[in-house]
C-alpha cells in the first residue's frame, strides 16, 4: 500500500514541515478506525490556510487556460520539490477487454511519451501568480509495464513530482492517450488523500480534454476550496452538454427528452405511438439520446440499430456482472419458451389443460396425477410426444413460484386473493372504502354515468351483521378500484380478438381475523347502448355456476391488477418518475456535493434499465404490449395515471393516509395507526422508512445546520428546481410540490426519493415471478368475458366451465413467455448493492460522522431483518404466516443473487 510507504522527500525535513505532519497523522489514522482521515485533512487544511496568509489571491482565469496550463512554466516559490506516490486502481470488468487493450498497446509501437495515462495533481490552493490552482508536474501511468492479466482490478503505482508548497491535492486531471477507454476506480495519494473515481475515461482522440476527479472530501458550493472552484463548475458544464447532436456511447452527457421513441412509424401507422410528454399526454422526461427522427414522423425519434445503439451516459451503463445476469436470464427464458412454443403450435393455440400448465414447473406435487388425466397427451404423435417428455426434464422447467409450491390449487382462493392485496406483488392499490356505492371521477359525458351498480344487498350478508354504513364507520370495508384506470381504454383493448377486459371494482371485508375477504366484484364496460347494462356485480358463489363465474371475475380483477401493477405502480412510479431526479443530480450537483454523494448509490443502473425498457419492454410491439391486456394503449394508461401522481404523496406515511389505511397517531411507533393491523408491506415498510429518515436527518443536520445553508446552496436549489420544472415539466405548476426551504424540507425530499427507489421498488419488483409466475391465478390478460345467460357462449360455459376458464387465459406460449420475463425481472445480479451494505463507504473517508451514521443505518437494516423473520413466524399474523402461506420477505434488506423474493437494492437496477 502506498500509504504505508514513507514519503520520499528531496529536501531535509526541517525545510519541509508538512512531511512530518503527513506522517504523524497517518499514525493517528491507524489508531482511530472510525475517523481515520478527518484529522489528516484538517491538519493539511490548516497548513494550507497558513500559507495563504502570505499570498495575495489573483483573479480567476478561464477554465480552458487552467486545464491546459503547463505546470513546467510555473516557477516554484520555494525551490524544493518532492515525490508523492499514488496508487491508481484500474478495474477490468471483463478480463478479455484488458488483454485486448494490452495487446493493442504493445502492438501500437507508440513511444512511451505518446501513450499511457497522464495524471496531474491539482491543489486546493490557488497560485497567486497564475490565478489558477497549483499543479503538480504530469505523471505517467503506463500499465504495459505492470500487467496482472488475471486480476479484475489492478493497482498501479504512480509518482508525482510536486512543489513543496503545493498544498493539499483536491483534484486530479487525467488524460488518456491510449487507444481505448479504461475504468478508473480510485486513486489514493500516500494512503491519505482518497479519490473515489468509478468512471470510464475515454481516449483523448475521442474526447479531447482532461477528465477531472475530485477527492472524497464533501464540500457545499460555498465551501469549495479556492483552487477547485473553476473545476467544479467546468465539470458540471461538461456533464450538461449543449443539448445538441447524437449521443455516442462514450459520452457522459445528461439531458432530457420526451418519450418520442416508443413507436416505429416507419413500419406503418399501427406501429406508431403518441409522444408522451407535453400538455396533451403529460409524462416525466427521460434521458436524451439525440437519435435522428424517423422518415415518416419528424417528431418521433428513430429506432436503435447497430450503428446507433441505445445511449445512456457511459458511467450509467450496466457493469459486466449485471449485463451477464440479464443475458443469462434471457437465455434461460428462450430455453424455457422453446418446448411450450412447440407444443402450443402443435395444438394450434387451442384449449389447454391445467396439467399442461403444471408441466412447466419442477417438482409440482400436482403434476403427476394431472398428467395421467390429460386428454391432450394421448393425441400427440409419438415422436412429438417423446420430445415433449424430454422437454419436461428439470433443466427446461421453471422453478415453482411461491404461489404454486405452497398451494397446489389451480384457482385463487378468496382468502389468498385478499391476502395478496396486503402482502403480494402489488400491495399499493388497496384502499379503505370511503363512499358507498363508489363513484367514478371520470367525465360522464365521455364515459357514461358515474354511479356504480353496487348496492347494499350485494354485500350486506357478508358484514358480520353490520349495515354498510356501520361497517364503513368501523373501517371494515376496503376496495380495489380499477374503474377509472381502465374504463377510458376498454374500447381499444376489447377491439382485439384476443383481449377482453373490464374496469373492475372489488369490495373486501376486514374479518375479525385481520384478513381481507372479497365480497363483491363489479365488472364495468363502456356503455354500448341504453338497453344493455354495461355494469354487472358478481358475488361469492352459491352453486356450481356462480362458483365458476366468481373464479372468472376474480381472474379479471387479477388481470386489471397485473397491468396496473406493472405499468403504473412499478414502471411509472418507481422507474419513470425517478429518472428526472437522476438526470438533474448529475447536471447540477457536483460529485463533491454531499447530496450527490448521498444519492449516488441510489442512482445506480437506473438509466440503463430504463433505456432497455424503452427499447424492449414498453415500446410498440414490445413485451408489455404482447403480454398484458393493455396492448397499444399501455403507455397512454400510464400518462393518464401520471396526471394523479403526486411527489408529496409518495412518502410511505402519506401514501398510507391517502389510501385510508392509516391515521396519524403520535402515540404509535411511527406516528401512524394502521387500520389493517397485519399489513405486511406497511408494517415492514415503516421500519425501513424510519431508518432511512433517521440516516437522512443525521446527514442533513451535519451539512445543513440552518435554513440559510439550504437557501444559499445554488447547486441544491438548481437540482430540485430542474427535477420539478424540466424533469416533471408537465405538472410543474401543481401547488403540491414540496418546498425546499428548511433542513426538514430536505430530509423529507431525500427520504422520499431513497424510499421510492429502494424499498418501494423492491416490494413491487422482486416478487414478480414468485407471485405472478403461475398464470392461472394471476393472468396478465384475459381472452373472454364472464358469460351470463344472455350470451351466446353461455351454453358452452355451462357444458365445460373449466375449459371456458382455461380458454380465457393467455395461451401456453404466452404464459411461458411471461414467466420468462418475470423471472428475469425478479433476478438480483451478483453485483447488487443492498440497503445498509457498507461496502461502498469509501466515498466518505473524509467524514467520520457520516461513516458512523451509515454504520448505524447498517445495524438498523440488520434489525429489520430480524424483526421480519420474527413476524413471519408469528401465527397471529395470518397475512404472512399459516399453512401454505408464503412469508412476506420482499422488504428483507439483504439477498443472495438470483430470484429470491427478497432483498432491497439501493436503487432501481432492474
Cα gap 773→819, rounded to integer Å: 5
Query: For residue 390, with 0-12 CB atoms within 10 Å meaning exposed, 13-18 middle and 19 or more buried, which class applies?
Result: exposed
Nearest residue (CB) to Fe ion, 252 versus 778: 778
Q: Which residues contact 874 (CB under 8 A, 6 or more apart)?
A: 880, 881
262 or 578: CB nearest Fe ion: 578
Q: Which residue is closest to Fe ion by CB?
A: 765
Q: Residue 38 or 765: which CB sits closer to Fe ion?
A: 765
Q: Min. distance of Cβ 291 from Fe ion in angstroms?
A: 24
Q: In angstroms, what is the minimal distance from the CB of 763 to Fe ion? A: 11
Residue number with CB closer to Fe ion (425 or 729) = 425
Burial class (CB within 10 angstroms; exposed 0-12, middle 13-18, buried 19+) of 52:
middle
Q: Which is nearer to Fe ion, 757 or 782 (CB)?
A: 757
Annotation marks residue 765 as catalytic? yes
Phi, psi of 439 (to 5 degrees): -125, 135
- Cα–Cα distance for residue pair 829/896, rounded to 1 Å: 9
Give me the helices (H) in 219-264, please.
Answer: 229-240
Q: Which is nearer to Fe ion, 224 or 765 (CB)?
A: 765
Minimum distance from residue 401 beta carbon to Fe ion (Å):
17
Residue that is written with C-alpha cell 363489479 in the block? 522
Contact yes or no for 348/360 (Cβ under 8 A): no
In sequence order, the 6+-apart residues with CB closer than 8 A to the CB of 144 are 102, 105, 106, 115, 116
Angstrom distance (rounded) from CA 846 to CA 34: 10
Judged by beta carbon, residue 170 or residue 333, the one nearer Fe ion is 333
- Closest contact distance (angstroms) between CB of 809 and Fe ion is 25
Catalytic residue among 458, 588, 761, 828: 761
Question: Which CB sits closer to Fe ion, 570 or 587?
Answer: 570
Pick 426 or 765: Cβ nearer Fe ion:
765
Contacts of residue 817, Cβ cutoff 8 Å, sequence gap at least 6? 333, 337, 626, 627
The residue to which cell 437557501 is assigned = 711
* Residues 6+ away with beta carbon under 8 Å from 474: 466
Shortest reach from residue 765's CB to Fe ion, in Å: 4
Please confirm, yes or no, whether 910 is among the known catalytic residues: yes
Whole-Å CA distances, 375 to 384, 416, 523: 15, 30, 33
54: Cβ–Cβ under 8 A, 6 or more apart, which residues? none
Do 830 and 324 form a contact (C-beta atoms < 8 A)? no
Closer CB to Fe ion, residue 765 or residue 816?
765
User: Which chain residues interact with Fe ion by CB under 5 A?
Assistant: 765
Choice among 194, 198, 570, 728 that is catalytic: 570
Which residues fall within 8 angstroms of residue 62, CB to CB, at 6 or more apart? none
Question: Shortest distance, CB of residue 762 to Fe ion, whole angstroms?
Answer: 9
Q: Known catalytic residue: 560?
A: no
Residue of 198, 207, 264, 575 marked active site: 575
Cell numbers placing 45: 487544511
Q: Which one is catalytic: 430, 618, 710, 910? A: 910
In contact, 777 and 319? CB cutoff 8 Å: no
Bridge-partner residues for 187, per DSSP? 88, 195
Residue pair 176/202 in contact by the 8 Å Cβ criterion = yes
CB of 511 to Fe ion, least distance (A): 33
Instruction: State the pairing for strand pair 8-9/81-91.
Output: antiparallel
Closest Cα to residue 342, out of 299, 385, 307?
385
Closest distance between Fe ion and the C-beta of residue 909, in Å?
8
Query: In the numeric block, which cell numbers belong to residue 385?
Result: 410426444
CB of 420 to Fe ion, least distance (A): 19
Of the candidates 358, 765, 872, 906, the residue annotated as catalytic is 765
Type and span of the H or E element at 119: strand 117-126
Residue with the three cell numbers 443492498: 834
Give the H/E segment covering residue 200: strand 193-201
* Beta carbon of residue 627, minimum distance to Fe ion (angstroms, whole number): 15
Distance from C-alpha of 656 to C-alpha of 682, rounded to nearest angstrom: 8
DSSP string, 327-376: HHHHHHHHHHHHHHHHHHHHTTT----HHHHHTTBTT-TTHHHHHHH-HH
Task: Report the residue number, 765 or 827, with the smaller CB distance to Fe ion.
Answer: 765
Contact present, 104 and 89 (Cβ < 8 Å): no
Closest CA to 658 of 398, 822, 431, 489: 431
CB of 848 to Fe ion, least distance (A): 35
Pull the grid cell for residue 457: 344487498
Distance CA 682, CA 693 (A): 16
Instruction: Give yes or no: 728 in active site.
Output: no
Rounded to a whole number of angstroms, the minimum distance from the CB of residue 566 to Fe ion is: 9
Residues with catalytic annotation? 570, 575, 761, 765, 910
Amino acid at each position: 500500500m502506498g500509504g504505508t510507504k514513507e514519503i520520499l522527500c528531496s529536501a531535509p525535513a526541517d525545510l519541509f514541515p508538512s512531511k512530518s505532519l503527513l506522517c504523524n497523522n497517518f499514525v493517528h489514522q491507524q489508531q482511530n478506525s472510525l475517523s481515520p482521515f478527518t484529522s489528516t485533512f484538517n491538519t493539511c487544511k490548516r497548513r494550507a490556510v497558513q500559507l495563504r496568509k502570505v499570498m495575495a489571491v489573483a483573479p480567476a482565469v478561464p477554465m480552458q487556460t487552467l486545464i491546459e496550463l503547463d505546470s513546467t512554466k510555473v516557477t516554484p516559490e520555494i525551490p524544493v520539490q518532492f515525490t508523492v506516490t499514488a496508487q491508481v486502481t484500474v478495474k477490468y470488468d471483463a478480463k478479455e477487454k484488458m488483454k485486448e487493450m494490452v495487446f493493442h498497446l504493445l502492438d501500437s509501437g507508440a513511444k512511451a511519451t505518446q501513450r499511457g495515462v497522464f495524471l496531474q495533481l491539482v491543489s486546493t490552493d490557488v497560485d497567486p501568480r497564475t490565478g489558477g490552482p497549483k499543479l503538480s508536474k504530469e505523471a505517467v501511468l503506463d500499465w504495459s509495464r505492470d500487467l496482472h492479466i488475471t486480476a479484475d482490478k489492478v493497482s498501479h503505482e504512480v509518482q508525482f513530482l510536486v512543489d513543496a508548497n503545493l498544498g493539499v491535492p483536491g483534484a486530479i486531471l487525467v488524460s488518456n492517450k491510449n487507444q481505448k477507454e479504461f475504468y478508473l476506480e480510485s486513486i489514493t495519494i500516500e494512503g491519505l488523500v482518497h479519490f473515489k473515481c468509478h468512471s470510464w475515461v475515454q481516449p483523448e482522440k475521442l474526447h479531447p480534454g482532461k477528465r477531472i476527479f475530485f477527492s472524497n472530501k464533501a464540500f457545499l458550493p460555498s465551501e469549495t476550496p479556492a483552487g477547485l472552484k473553476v473545476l467544479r463548475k467546468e465539470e458540471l458544464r461538461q456533464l450538461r452538454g449543449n443539448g445538441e447532436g447524437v449521443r455516442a456511447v462514450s459520452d457522459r452527457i445528461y439531458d432530457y427528452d420526451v418519450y418520442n421513441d416508443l413507436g416505429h412509424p416507419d413500419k406503418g401507422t399501427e406501429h406508431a405511438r403518441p409522444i408522451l410528454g407535453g400538455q396533451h399526454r403529460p409524462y416525466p422526461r427521460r434521458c436524451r439520446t439525440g437519435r435522428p427522427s424517423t422518415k415518416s414522423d419528424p417528431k418521433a425519434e428513430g429506432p436503435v440499430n447497430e450503428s446507433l445503439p441505445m445511449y445512456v451516459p457511459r458511467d450509467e451503463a450496466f457493469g459486466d456482472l449485471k449485463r451477464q445476469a440479464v443475458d443469462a436470464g434471457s437465455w434461460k427464458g428462450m430455453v424455457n419458451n422453446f418446448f411450450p412454443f412447440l407444443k402450443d403450435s402443435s395444438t394450434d393455440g387451442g384449449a389447454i389443460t391445467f396439467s399442461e400448465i403444471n408441466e412447466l414447473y419442477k417438482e409440482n406435487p400436482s403434476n403427476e396425477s394431472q398428467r395421467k388425466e390429460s386428454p391432450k397427451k394421448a393425441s400427440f404423435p409419438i415422436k412429438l410426444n417423446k420430445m415433449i417428455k424430454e422437454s419436461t426434464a428439470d433443466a427446461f422447467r421453471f422453478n415453482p413460484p411461491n404461489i404454486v409450491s405452497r398451494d397446489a390449487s389451480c384457482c385463487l382462493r378468496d382468502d389468498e386473493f385478499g391476502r395478496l392485496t396486503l402482502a403480494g406483488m402489488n400491495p399499493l392499490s388497496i384502499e379503505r372504502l370511503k363512499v358507498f356505492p363508489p363513484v367514478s371521477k371520470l367525465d360522464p359525458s365521455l364515459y357514461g354515468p358515474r354511479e356504480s351498480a353496487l348496492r347494499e344487498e350485494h354485500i350486506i350478508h357478508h358484514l358480520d351483521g353490520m349495515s354498510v354504513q356501520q361497517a364503513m364507520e368501523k373501517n371494515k370495508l376496503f376496495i380495489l378500484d380499477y374503474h377509472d384506470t381502465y374504463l377510458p381504454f376498454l374500447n381499444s383493448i376489447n377491439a382485439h380478438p384476443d383481449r377482453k377486459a373490464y374496469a373492475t371494482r372489488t369490495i373486501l371485508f376486514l374479518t375479525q381475523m385481520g384478513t381481507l375477504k372479497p365480497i363483491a366484484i363489479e365488472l364495468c364496460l363502456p356503455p354500448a347502448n341504453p338497453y344493455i347494462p354495461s355494469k354487472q356485480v358478481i358475488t361469492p358463489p352459491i352453486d356450481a355456476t356462480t362458483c365458476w363465474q366468481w373464479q372468472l371475475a376474480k381472474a379479471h380483477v387479477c388481470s386489471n391488477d397485473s397491468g396496473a401493477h406493472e405499468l403504473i405502480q412499478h414502471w411509472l412510479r418507481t422507474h419513470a418518475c425517478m429518472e428526472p431526479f437522476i438526470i438533474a443530480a448529475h447536471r447540477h450537483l457536483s460529485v463533491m456535493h454531499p447530496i450527490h454523494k448521498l444519492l449516488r448509490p441510489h442512482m445506480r443502473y437506473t438509466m440503463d434499465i430504463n433505456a432497455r425498457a424503452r427499447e424492449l419492454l414498453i415500446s410498440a410491439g414490445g413485451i408489455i404490449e404482447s403480454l398484458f391486456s393493455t396492448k397499444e394503449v399501455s403507455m397512454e394508461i400510464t400518462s393518464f395515471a401520471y396526471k394523479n401522481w403526486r411527489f408529496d404523496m409518495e412518502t410511505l406515511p402519506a401514501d398510507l393516509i391517502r389510501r385510508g389505511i392509516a391515521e396519524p397517531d403520535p402515540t404509535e411507533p411511527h406516528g401512524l395507526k394502521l387500520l389493517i393491523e397485519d399489513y405486511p408491506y406497511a408494517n415492514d415498510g415503516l421500519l425501513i422508512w424510519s431508518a432511512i429518515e433517521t440516516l437522512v436527518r443525521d446527514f442533513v443536520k451535519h451539512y445543513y445546520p440552518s435554513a440559510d445553508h439550504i437557501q444559499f446552496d445554488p447547486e441544491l436549489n438548481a437540482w430540485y428546481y430542474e427535477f420539478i420544472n424540466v424533469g416533471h415539466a408537465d405538472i410543474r405548476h401543481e401547488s403540491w410540490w414540496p418546498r425546499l426551504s428548511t433542513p426538514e424540507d430536505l430530509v423529507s425530499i431525500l427520504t422520499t426519493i431513497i424510499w421510492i427507489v429502494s424499498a418501494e421498488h423492491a416490494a413491487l419488483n422482486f416478487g414478480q415471478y414468485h407471485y405472478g409466475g403461475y398464470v392461472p391465478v394471476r393472468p396478465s390478460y384475459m381472452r373472454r368475458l364472464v358469460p351470463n345467460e344472455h350470451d351466446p357462449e353461455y351454453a358452452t360455459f355451462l357444458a365445460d366451465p373449466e375449459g371456458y376458464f382455461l380458454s380465457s387465459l393467455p395461451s401456453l406460449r404466452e404464459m411461458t413467455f411471461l414467466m420468462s420475463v418475470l423471472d428475469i425481472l425478479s433476478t438480483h445480479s451478483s453485483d447488487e448493492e443492498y440497503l445498509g451494505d457498507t461496502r461502498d463507504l469509501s466515498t466518505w473517508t473524509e467524514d467520520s460522522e457520516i461513516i458512523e451514521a451509515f454504520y448505524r443505518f447498517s445495524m438498523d437494516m440488520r434489525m429489520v431483518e430480524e424483526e421480519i423473520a420474527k413476524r413471519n413466524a408469528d401465527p397471529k399474523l395470518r397475512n404472512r404466516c399459516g399453512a401454505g402461506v408464503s412469508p412476506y420477505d420482499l422488504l428483507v434488506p439483504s439477498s443472495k443473487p438470483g430470484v429470491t423474493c427478497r432483498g432491497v437494492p439501493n436503487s432501481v437496477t432492474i
